[in-house]
Structure 1
């Protein structure tokens, strides 16, 4: 029990969280990474021919070489939120408002049924050339991070969508699910953002909990996985989980953009909570200062144990990592805060 519970007998127990120490010790790998700008990048994937695919606004672009140009290979009707690539090279696109489509390996439109009933898809993977598995966060509207941190409704799900339009629920009752990955054995792994855990979508078993970041997308890499985190789990937010009356009042009287919550933008503002605490000697923000935004990619082994990380700390700018993939012996990460695609060589 927390101290306040012990003294006053109220609130919920504070949750255990891994610290950024040991193999997750602070570093500047994201700040030191090479970068190229995107316009509205939200998702990245590796094509079967080895090129990078980037969902940039409503454009699907192809990057064959890091120093080369982006080739626009398809224009969707909405902002592209998530991508998935099949073993044969088909590409699934998921957009705002639950829009969805599949492209053939040559980027022509494939014959898939529409109308899938998705609310807010965040990630997907191909189970076969004729079946997709999709994460639906169930969270409508903007301020996704703030709402995921404080809304208790378990409206997320993992669903299967077949080429003929057949829809099957694999797991529902999830809290803000965000990422999806098939492990080498074929299990469907799903991340829950605010619960900071990874679970088996079929059995519901929690396979890894207490992660130090808000868990977003999970991708395979040689020897394990890359887990993107939209922010670091902040001690103040975790403490306030025990203060239910305060949280109710905050949600009832303050707009979501001003909640004490994780956020994407690291820029300083006097209007945001605790930001004055980030100012130190001569006005400089120190790396260890309190911050509701952070850049974090966690490297995991095959058993989902952390083995390393890539970070952009409180005094950095490359925060809110939406996606990270292994590509040509390096990690490519997508920062929502700066609108950059980052290339960090593996160590």
Structure 2
């Protein structure tokens, strides 16, 4: 009874669960054009993730292939899997490529090893993997109900079935470190062995320990995803889509959401996207004013490009942007390589290159 009264009060005053406000981009998150004006390092179809191996080689997931890319942008295929690659990480002297629910070990002493992580109804929703200093593999799984390609459906369904897993390749032991997360997306381990993930629908970064998740950075203006350690301390965080008040309002209207998902093509749902501006009937266009064919950068954002530099305490220091109307949206991965920050824009299927010295 008290919950019903609180819910009614929140809806009347627009507070609590009914609050549709979104944090503004200001301070360390003040908009700029660094991502939009960045050099295009290389392009490939269906880009998803990238990482740097222990021997210094850059590897990139492109559809069902794993590419090795040299500092000039030349590509060479080193593996082709039966399903699209959804996550990559360097592991010991080799590489791990993850598909929907399976890990593939490429190169090194474990070359050719495979492990089926999940048998969930979705077929698996692995979206990030990383190596733990003690030899385990840390895995984030966004949803038990929907595959990675249906992330908007999980968002609109108020999904909270994300998990963080730990796998020991030497004895094939798998354990669940955390569950019930609002779309776990990303995995990173600090020098002390503490494990962190981004909780996308919770707009925060959490530390996972003993089955409990504690917030390290919260109330982000977008949906966070993969994060990596920065070479000089701290972290790089990717934000793959923006929040806006219309979507926040729709998320609270259960009946409308159900009817929309049942009757409307998913690409026209009122939901975030990895890219936008390519279809004249997609939502949110009435919120922007076009002059001389240019969409104003302060218009409501359906897609956006954002990378946030975090300190060791996970607080934002500065950020890199591709604003509304830009091309380099849907950022899902970053890596430091050859003195530069490489930024993967899944929305544009491009890898961007920014000199680390210029950013600083």
Q: Which residue among 163, 166, 177 is the counterpart of 1:160?
A: 166
Query: Which of 160, 181, 188 is equivalent to 1:174?
Result: 181
| Alignment match of 2:94 (pick from 78, 81, 90) | 90
Note closer, same or farther for the CA distance 1:3–1:237 as it changes in structure 2 (3 Å cut): farther
Instruction: Point out where structure 1 has 5 or more consecutive residues left out of the alignment.
Output: none
TM-aligned CA distance change 1:284 to 1:235, over 3 Å: same
TM-superposition CA deviations, 1:18-56 (whole Å, max 9, x none): 321122111111111111111221110011122211112
Give the superposition deviation at 1:17.
Answer: 4.4
Question: For the Cα contact (< 8 Å) 2:335–2:341, is it kept in 1?
Answer: yes
Structure-to-structure mapping, 1:130-149, within 5 angstroms: 130-138=135-143, 139-141=145-147, 143-149=149-155
The reply on whether 1:116 has 2:117 as its aligned counterpart is: yes
Of the candidates 119, 127, 134, which is equivalent to residue 132 of structure 2?
Answer: 127
User: What displacement does 1:245 show?
Assistant: 4.2
Preserved contact between residue 14 and residue 241 of structure 1 (Cα < 8 Å): no
Q: Deviations over 1:92-122 (max 9, x none)?
A: 1101x313211233xx862645222261100
Deviations 1:196-228 (A, max 9, x none): 111112231111110112101011102211111
- Whether contact under 8 Å (2:306, 2:329) holds in the other structure is yes
The range that moved more, 336-345 or 67-76, is 67-76
The one of 182, 192, 210 equivalent to 1:185 is 192
Tell me the C-alpha RMSD between the 2 structures: 2.6
1:154-233 residue pairs with structure 2 within 5 A? 154-163=160-169, 164-202=171-209, 203-221=212-230, 222-233=232-243
Greater shift after overlay, 121-130 or 2-11?
Answer: 2-11
Structure 2, gaps ≥5 residues long? 1-5
Q: TM-score, normalised by structure 2?
A: 0.87
TM-score, scaled to structure 1: 0.90
SS of 1:237's equivalent in the other structure is helix
Q: 1:277 to 1:8 in 2, by over 3 A?
A: closer
SS of the residue corresponding to residue 153 of structure 1 reads coil
Matches within 5 A, 1:267-346: 267-346=277-356
With 112-121 and 2-11 compared, the bigger mean Cα shift is at: 2-11
Measure the CA separation in 2 of the matches of 1:74 and 1:274: 40
Please state whether the residue corresponding to 2:153 is helix, strand or coil: helix
Stretch moving more, 234-243 or 160-169? 234-243
**Is the CA contact (8 Å cut-off) linking 2:21 and 2:245 kept in structure 1?**
no
Distance 1:6 1:14, change over 3 A: closer
CA distance in 2, matches of 1:145, 1:311: 23
Per the TM alignment, residue 270 of structure 1 is displaced from its structure 2 partner at its CA by 2.9
Q: What does residue 46 of structure 1 align with? A: 52
